[in-house]
């Protein structure tokens, strides 16, 4: 099982290392393929006044230190094609944000690297249409047939993070996990799936109490991995705090997921 976990954004080097240290148990777990996740820039914040991060240069410096000190594989977001080359020198997996999942130049730039590519499904996208995003990466890498096996071979993943349901709400249609898994390995992002966009007056809200239920349902349906944003104190997190899982609650949730998967 792949596990992508870490804070939403790099708030400071001290915070990152505190969280990274708390996640060591997953690196040591032979049943888990662990990736440390943190963003150097949150370019799609609701408000111009919202905290975005420390920027690419400082952010990559910190992620490299995490990689060197803990031996973690790293995943982070890229928002523009020009970011891909420098980011790929540090990370093991390039992540395409949901709002950019159809951005051809960005997908092609990521495909031209030797890194894994995680494409987050847009909140506005019909799940079957995500095959075309997968196709852009595969074709750039010299493969003309879209299939689960080919996507897996080329390190391409799709992440389900819910779909817009009216204004200010996101829901997860569990059918999308089955549909998208026909043509790519699927990771379930349980924390972004409980977001409530714009609910906090210029900021995104959320309901983290629903995370364990959605993660359990996804485990029962069948996925290839999970994505959790986590923090030692979500109430003071500078981005996405309302939908984060506390570090001391994540271990219990992972164990529950393992038990559900074992039934299958």
CA separation for the pair 104, 126 (Å, rounded):
17
pLDDT score of 6: 97
Could you list the residue range(s) of the whole structural domain that residue 176 is in?
2-263
Contact 159, 227 (CB under 8 A): yes
pLDDT for residue 198: 65
User: How much is the pLDDT for 200?
Assistant: 56
d(CA 5, CA 120): 15
The whole model's pTM is what?
0.95
Q: Which two tokens stand for residue 119?
A: 């494409």
CA distance linking residue 42 with residue 36, whole number of Å: 17
pLDDT of the residue at 204: 67
Number of domain units in the chain: 1
**What is the maximal distance between C-alpha atoms in the chain?**
47
- CB contact at 8 A, 214 and 172: yes
SS3 (DSSP) at 32: coil
> Which CATH number belongs to the domain containing residue 70 in this structure?
3.20.20.70
SS (H, E, C) 203-233: CCEECHHHHHHHHHHHHHHCCCEEEEEEECC
Answer whether 170's CB lies under 8 Å from 194's CB: yes
Report the chain (264 residues): mean pLDDT per 10 consecutive residues: 96 97 97 97 76 92 98 98 98 97 98 98 97 98 98 98 90 97 98 79 75 98 98 89 93 97 87
CA distance 155 to 188: 16
190 in Cβ contact with 209 (< 8 Å): no
Q: What is the pLDDT of residue 89?
A: 98
């Amino acid at each position: 099982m792949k596990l992508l976990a870490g804070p939403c954004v790099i708030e400071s080097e001290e915070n990152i290392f505190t969280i990274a240290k708390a996640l060591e148990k997953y690196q040591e777990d032979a049943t888990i393929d662990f990736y440390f996740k943190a963003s150097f820039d949150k370019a799609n914040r609701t408000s111009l006044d919202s905290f975005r991060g420390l920027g690419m240069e400082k952010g990559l410096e910190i992620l490299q230190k995490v990689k060197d000190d803990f031996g973690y594989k790293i995943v982070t977001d890229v928002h523009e094609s020009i970011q891909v080359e420098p980011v790929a020198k540090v990370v093991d997996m390039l992540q395409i944000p949901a709002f950019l999942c159809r951005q051809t130049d960005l997908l092609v730039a990521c495909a031209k690297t030797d890194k894994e590519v995680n494409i987050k499904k847009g909140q506005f996208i019909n799940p079957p249409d995500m095959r075309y995003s997968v196709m852009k990466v595969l074709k750039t890498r010299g493969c003309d047939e879209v299939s689960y096996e080919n996507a897996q071979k080329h390190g391409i993943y799709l992440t389900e993070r819910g779909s817009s349901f009216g204004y200010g709400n996101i829901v997860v249609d569990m059918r999308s996990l089955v549909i998208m898994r026909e043509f790519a390995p699927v990771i379930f992002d349980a924390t972004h799936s409980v977001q409530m966009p714009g609910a906090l007056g210029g900021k995104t809200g959320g309901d983290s109490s629903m995370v364990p239920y959605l993660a359990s349902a996804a485990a029962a349906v069948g996925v290839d991995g999970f994505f959790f944003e986590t923090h030692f104190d979500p109430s003071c997190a500078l981005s996405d705090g309302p939908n984060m899982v506390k570090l001391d609650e994540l271990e219990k949730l992972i164990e529950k997921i393992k038990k559900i998967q074992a039934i299958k």
